[in-house]
Amino acid sequence: MDANRIIILGIITLVVGLIVSLFKLWINHSSQKLKKDHPSLVNRLQTTNTKILFLRSVIFLLAVLFAIESLYKVKSVDAESTKDFESADILFVVDVSLSMNAVDVKPNRLKRFQDVILRLLPDLKGNRVGMIVFAGQSFAYCPLTSDITAVSDYIKSLGVEMVGAKGTNLGKALEKVESVRKKSKHLQSMLTVIVTDGEDHEKQSLPNLEGDVVVWGIGTEEGGPIEFRDPSTGKGGFVTYDSNLVDSPYSENVINSKLNLDILTSLADRYEGEYHNISFYEDGALNLVDKIQSMKKTKTERLERFKNEDGAHPYLLISFFLLLVERVISIHLQKNIFFKLSIFLVLLLTFQNQIYAWELDPGGNAIERGKQAYENQNYNESQKEFTKAKEYIEDDPRLIYNESTTAYQMGKFMESKELLDKTLQHPKSDSDLKSKAHFAKGNIYSKLGQKKEALKSYLQSLKENPDNIAAKKNIEHLTKKQNTSPKNNQGQGQTQNPNPSKTPKENQKSENESQNPSDVDRIMEPFSNDSILKNKRGGSFDNEKFW
């Protein structure tokens, strides 16, 4: 709204207010004259002191005037501020050759990587992420950026048809990594993640890389056929050695693409890095998050632009004060004592609530600053703010829990565990908070490799809150490897005592106990693989596993 329109509307408002005030004064004066001329109307007509009524009208009009003036005085100024933050730079080098469409990993190798990295992105918030794609050629696909939303859009658009040159030339892609580093000389914490199945990497000249390197392998050594479909028509089939497509994956001429484990492990050894196969388990992704948190971060500044609107506050305060004075005068003129008393009580309670909020405001502000620092990955500052809030809010287990989360993010697992124990022992902790605390302890035990203790903590979390789906998924993840262990000596027809150190009765008792469902089995019974591990496009791979 421009200034001229504000002036016009302000003048109209003041004129209307002046007319209403003059009309009220005329009505009051006429009523007083009637009461003098007709004494019988004294108790029937209610009037007030003309001078006080005039004063109220003047005060009200001044309040309106200052309120309109505040709109005219608003100044919007473009302001800038810089914030210091620490981040690592993670560059993914992704193989998009045709072999990444092999279906030995469901739905295929490339989509499996997309699934893993999309779920990993929230844990990478606060760091810069970039991507280089390669097949026969390579190019910088996603520039290094801290905008996680933009990175996710790039990841969703990955496809094997995006690089025209066929084949796999990892050496060229790694040269791109070095060119990115040279262009950004200030990079101190560069992490390169090479994502490939290892096919066609033999006899390639690989450059030297600075910084940490992690190799993610996708695929199986048994291999699988390569499926290719035209994204525009949806038609396609399985690729054959003579570059044709057939409908059946079992045709004689179909290519069987295999993971080259030797190449991948030698690649990790060359750069003194780590190798993980992420085809079916997310351990490699978890290790990557831990590695990033322990890395020395690059200190950078981020420029933030915003609009700062100021200039109206003094006029609004004056307007509010004048309106308050006008209301106090109006209440004072009321003759009904019950009305005055009710108004007084309302004002008193309102005043007390404001005082109470004012006393808690330092603690509340500290909590908000702590939450904001946590979201910005500034965990040291977050922990300081939560500790400061305890000076004003001493007996709240939620603050202890918040401190434990920041300690966890900083890698102080034992300190975090001690704080979680305090949260669980606090008399004011409710079931929901206890469930979260047990769940967090389970994550700590899982990080430390104590799988049994982690399982117990997740079970305790479910006892406090049976609807904790994340705990159920983590239990399933921990027990998955145990459930897939091969059965020993089946079908051998052996009749000897299965445990010579025990009597037959003791062995019978052990067998009965093994047949009884455990706590884990009972909890996981309604959560079969088909119901909880579903891909949005169909299938049964672990698209929604929580980790």
The C-alpha angle 261, 267, 271, rounded to 5 degrees, equals: 150
Q: Tell me, yes or no, whether 67 and 103 share the same domain.
A: no
- 215 contacts 275 by C-beta, under 8 angstroms: yes
Measure the CA–CA gap between 189 and 297, rounded to whole angstroms.
6
The C-alpha angle 417, 422, 426, rounded to 5 degrees, equals: 150
Length of the chain: 547
pLDDT, mean of residues 95-122: 91
Phi-psi region of 174 (alpha: psi -120 to 50; beta: other; left: phi over 0): alpha
Q: Tell me, yes or no, whether 296 and 407 share the same domain.
A: no
Q: Tell me, yes or no, whether 463 and 428 share the same domain.
A: yes
Whole-model pTM: value is 0.47
List Cβ<8 Å contacts ≥24 apart for 361-365: 362/391, 362/392, 363/389, 363/391, 363/392, 363/393, 364/389
H-helix segments, 123-254: 148-156, 170-183
Of 93, 127, 295, 122, which Cα lies nearest the Cα of 214? 93
Q: Tell me, yes or no, whether 148 and 12 share the same domain.
A: no
SS3 230: coil
C-alpha of 46 from chain center: 63
Residue-level pLDDT at 311: 66
Residues 32-58 pLDDT 10s: 888 787 877 777 777 777 788 888 888
Of 171, 188, 185, which Cα lies nearest the Cα of 137? 171
User: Peptide bond preceding 107: is omega within 30 degrees of 0, i.e. cis?
Assistant: yes
Split at pLDDT 50, 70, 90, the class of 112 is: very high
Least confident of 1-10, 93-102, 404-413, 536-545: 536-545
Percent of the chain with pLDDT over 90: 15
Measure the CA–CA gap between 54 and 204, rounded to whole angstroms.
95
Q: Tell me, yes or no, whether 328 and 397 share the same domain.
A: no
Q: Tell me, yes or no, whether 214 and 289 share the same domain.
A: yes
Residues 483-495 pLDDT 10s: 544 444 333 333 3
Q: Tell me, yes or no, whether 326 and 380 share the same domain.
A: no
- Tell me, yes or no, whether 219 lies in a domain: yes
Sign of the four-CA dihedral 545, 222, 225, 247: negative
- 194 contacts 170 by C-beta, under 8 angstroms: yes
Q: Quote the strand ranges of 162-242, DSSP E.
A: 190-196, 212-217, 224-225, 227-229, 236-239
For residues 281, 284, 289, 293, the Cα torsion angle rounded to the nearest 10 degrees is 150
Tokens read off for 50: 């003309």
- Tell me, yes or no, whether 187 lies in a domain: yes
Q: Tell me, yes or no, whether 63 and 120 share the same domain.
A: no
Q: Tell me, yes or no, whether 317 and 265 share the same domain.
A: no
Residue 93 has pLDDT above 90, yes or no: yes
Question: Which run of H or of E encompasses 83?
Answer: strand 75-87
Q: List the CATH number of the domain containing 110.
A: 3.40.50.410
Measure the CA–CA gap between 103 and 93, rounded to whole angstroms.
21
SS3 213: strand
Residue-level pLDDT at 278: 92
Residue-level pLDDT at 513: 41
Task: Specify the DSSP class assigned to residue 240.
Answer: B
Residues 184-197 pLDDT 10s: 655 567 889 999 99
Residue-level pLDDT at 510: 43
User: Residues with Cβ < 8 Å from 271, sequence gap 6 or more?
Assistant: 192, 209, 213
| Tally of domains in the chain | 3
SS3 129: strand
Q: Tell me, yes or no, whether 528 and 388 share the same domain.
A: yes
- 446 contacts 518 by C-beta, under 8 angstroms: no
SS3 513: helix
- Tell me, yes or no, whether 17 lies in a domain: yes
- 131 contacts 94 by C-beta, under 8 angstroms: yes
Q: Say which residue, 54 or 394, is predicted with more confidence.
A: 54
Split at pLDDT 50, 70, 90, the class of 160 is: confident
Split at pLDDT 50, 70, 90, the class of 201 is: low
Q: List the CATH number of the domain containing 468.
A: 1.25.40.10
- 300 contacts 307 by C-beta, under 8 angstroms: no
Measure the CA–CA gap between 255 and 486, rounded to whole angstroms.
30
Q: Say which residue, 80 or 134, is predicted with more confidence.
A: 134
Sign of the four-CA dihedral 121, 122, 123, 124: positive
Of 100, 135, 102, which Cα lies nearest the Cα of 256? 102
Split at pLDDT 50, 70, 90, the class of 531 is: very low
> In the predicted model, what is the mean pLDDT of the chain?
76
Measure the CA–CA gap between 207 and 309, rounded to whole angstroms.
54
What is the span of the domain harbouring residue 167? 84-223+258-302
Residue-level pLDDT at 80: 62
